[in-house]
Amino acid sequence: MPEESKGQPGCSKWMNATGPDGEIVLSSRVRLARNIREVPFPYLASDSQADDVTRQIRQTSSELQDEMGEMRFFPIKNIPPLERQVLVEKHLISPLLIKEPHNSAVLLRSDEAVSVMVNEEDHLRIQCLLPGLQLEQGLAEANRYDDLLEEKLAYAYDEQWGYLTACPTNVGTGLRASVMVHLPALVLTKQINRVLSAIAQVGLAVRGLYGEGSEVVGNLVQISNQITLGQSEDEIVRNLYGVSRQIVEQEAQARQILLNEGRDRIADRVNRAFGVLSHARLMSSQEAMQLLSDVRLGIDLGLIEEVSGNILKELMVLLRPACLQMEAGRELDSLDRNRERAGLIRKRLESHYQ
């Protein structure tokens, strides 16, 4: 947030660092849903009950300062609306959290790898977001914060059902683990539908970039567990990890096929994408994502050398409407955004050149 206040959206750790299998798995996310015992879930709570929860978490986080590291507490209502949207675009909070900003809040670690949403669908949503395929590390980190908070807070927990949550699909572990994968070669070799339906058949959910119902753009897919009950946290994470590794293998093979069967054609494609990105004067979000996906593929295949692979992760966030308007320092209509977006891409690509 301090960075946002300077009018320049900064990068979260997941955006500008790399991790294991980072060429294909852009990020891993683990979140735990928790609620306070004997307080109605947020959608049923009165204002004063919800305020009470917020106050309690703020208090707790300040008591746990030493153990939690550099965390800051922000009531959503104190964050200017545009900056709230920036947090959503960076995947640090959900759109739901800012929909009713009266009693909601977020606790955010300075590297933005850990965030705790307060009064979203549940009283607490502890989230860890890491670069690359780091589901176990994400779970460990989320668990550490969960354990710290549990020492101070009385969680709603049932011996038989486990953690109780506002929505029954989260009951049990309250765990949702997900990976964001970049699958351009499976798309280009027309294997993507087969792969995605296989994923659905093993009980995992496949979504676009910005959660349920969002379109798949830029060959980016989010894969997450659907089941939270009847499996341990470790099992859930191990299962998703295993599937992710298989997807990584399949995408890697497809990339090899592209190189073997038409190196010129794929080199042409990715370099054209780079040429358009670095020279266009107007650019829609959707086109930018497709071209950035191509450029990232080119970088991964060694066909484009001047640019860092993180350009995709950085720009897929920084080109979103709120980030763009923050960068421009003013409200932008759709045509303005297309102009600013093209300008920002050129600037970023130039600075990457140097």
Helix or strand holding residue 126 (H, E)? strand 124-131
Query: Taking CB under 8 A as the rule, does residue 282 contact its own copies?
Result: yes
List the alpha helices (DSSP H) in the chain: 2-5, 13-16, 47-63, 65-68, 81-89, 95-99, 135-152, 184-188, 192-201, 233-277, 285-300, 310-318, 321-328, 334-353
Asked whether residue 28 is marked as a ligand-binding residue, the answer is: yes
With CB under 8 A as the contact rule, the residue among 81, 95, 203, 275 that binds its own copies is 275
Site stretch for its own copies (CB under 8 A), options 17-25, 89-97, 143-151, 276-284: 276-284
Q: At what angle do helices 47-63 and 135-152 cross, to 10 degrees?
A: 100
The distance from CA 282 to its chain's CA centroid, rounded to whole angstroms, is 26
Give the N- to C-terminal CA distance of the chain in Å, as an integer: 28
Nearer to its own copies, 190 or 281 (CB): 281
Given the complex with its own copies, which of 86 and 277 has the nearer CB atom?
277
* Other residues' Cβ atoms within 10 Å of the Cβ of residue 128: 27
278 contacts its own copies (rule: CB under 8 A): yes
> Does residue number 264 form part of the binding site for its own copies (CB under 8 A)?
yes
Degrees, nearest 5: CA angle 119-117-222: 120
- Please report how close the Cβ of residue 283 comes to its own copies at its closest, in angstroms: 8
Q: Are 87 and 79 in contact (CB under 8 A)?
A: yes
In whole angstroms, how close is the CB of 325 to its own copies at the nearest point?
18
In this structure, the number of other CB atoms found within 10 A of the CB of residue 88 comes to 18
- Of residues 113, 313, 344, the one with CA closest to residue 220: 313
Site string for its own copies, 304-343 (x = CB under 8 A): -------------------------------x---x--x-
Should residue 344 be labelled a site residue for its own copies when binding is judged by CB under 8 A?
Answer: no
Question: Helices 321-328 and 81-89: crossing angle, nearest 10°?
Answer: 130
The two structure tokens encoding residue 1: 């947030």
Binding piece for its own copies, criterion CB under 8 A, among 10-18, 161-169, 186-194, 279-287? 279-287
| 3-class SS of residue 114 | strand
156 marked as binding residue: no
Which of 198, 216, 229, 267 binds its own copies (CB under 8 A)? It is 267
- Say whether residue 117 binds its own copies (CB under 8 A): no
279 binds its own copies (CB under 8 A): yes
Inter-residue contact 186 to 195 (CB < 8 Å)? yes
Interface segment toward its own copies; rule CB under 8 A; list 40-48, 81-89, 160-168, 264-272: 264-272
Q: Is residue 207 a known part of a binding site?
A: yes
Query: In this chain, which stretch among 26-34, 48-56, 77-85, 259-267 interacts with its own copies, using CB under 8 A?
Result: 259-267
Q: Which of 77, 238, 245, 272 binds its own copies (CB under 8 A)?
A: 272
The verdict on whether residue 211 carries a ligand-binding annotation is: yes
Residues forming the annotated binding site for ATP? Answer: 27-31, 91, 125, 176-180, 207-212
Binding site for its own copies (CB under 8 A): 264-265, 267-268, 271-272, 274-282, 335, 339, 342
